[in-house]
A and B are shown apart, each in its own frame.
Chain A
Amino acid sequence: MDSCLNSHIVICNWNDKGDTIIKELHSNVHRNKKPIVIITRDPQSVPSSTEEEYQKVFIISGDPSDEKILRRASLDTADSAIVLSDFERGEYADAYSIIIALAIETINSDVHTVVELQKSRNKIHFKNSHVDEIICVEEITEKLVAQSAISHGISSIYLHLLSATLDTNEIYIIPVPRHFCGLSFRGAMKRVLSDKAEFILIGYMSGGQIYINPAKDESGHELKEGDRLITIAYSCPEFEKKG
């Protein structure tokens, strides 16, 4: 394996979702495809595919909670780490994920760590860890079922937004361009609409909070440096340099 790996993605454990994750991460929609290192105790379970998406994918056999193994995957220079559930551990799958997440954060606390959780009740155990995102799909899916009861067929829109392909839109969160600083969300929206931009502005992030299409009276917030715009687009939006 290339020992000079940098800004790569480390996947700990392998399960049935791994294949989709590799294909989404190495989809043609991304210009810069980051190398992926998979750490698993069962390397045979990873498909030995010749598909384009499986290029720049490396496998390390071993226990992902082992510090030495994580260092072999150059975790200290990695961009992101994904901890998938080890289904063989049954009820203790989440407990094992917590151990791996703690090991990752000990080696490199700056790495963006994403953990797949089986039971939402185990979320509390991640409270004191520095895990960046906990994906408990049970919660998201339940909300999706509720949304589909409110508006039939709506789930396919959300699935569309979750798919990273050339002919689907995704959610992109981008820094506020300089010429948008000082504008309200409404002002920024009018600018985007008049420019006939290829993306749809839906909200902004400020101070860690997300604001989706704020109401007229709530949109007084002036966008500033450090805020981020939430957009829906086929590929990551780029602003023309103005002012």
Chain B
Amino acid sequence: MDTQKMVRLSVMVALATVLSILENQLPIPRPLWLKLGLANIMTLLALIMYDIRAAMTVACIRSLLAGIFGSLPMLAFSFPAAITSSFTMGLLYRILGKRFSIIGLSISGAVIHNLTQLLIAYLILNLSYSSILTLSSFLILTALGGGIITGLIARYIIRIIPELC
């Protein structure tokens, strides 16, 4: 790995960690357990700038750091979701290329992220089927909203700093 790539990825991990901790304090009216997923902006940028490995590295290290500095018990939820969502986005980007815009990628990542966490909640709590149905419908809609917002921000960043890609 060349030095520039290493430095860039480190900065992205740092920014993603800060975003992920900071967005819990944002005064946005929302249910407590919902997040916009702002840290995913950095995963998206790493994917567009480099590749799936860079994206997964940023997502996983960010998740671990945010767990250590935020709430450690929630790592059981955030870490697997970071792996599956970054992997999905990377895979879709590799297969579909430009046919999916960064917003499509962001939405896919958000949906997979939420459904992974639902699966973990199912494993821990043995959720009832009606709960799974209610939650999955709700989580798909919120992932759509969050995915569009983070995708738009990532696109805006690429637009104002085109040298990134």
Are A and B part of the same complex? no
Residues of B within 8 A of A (CB): none
Residues of A within 8 A of B (CB): none
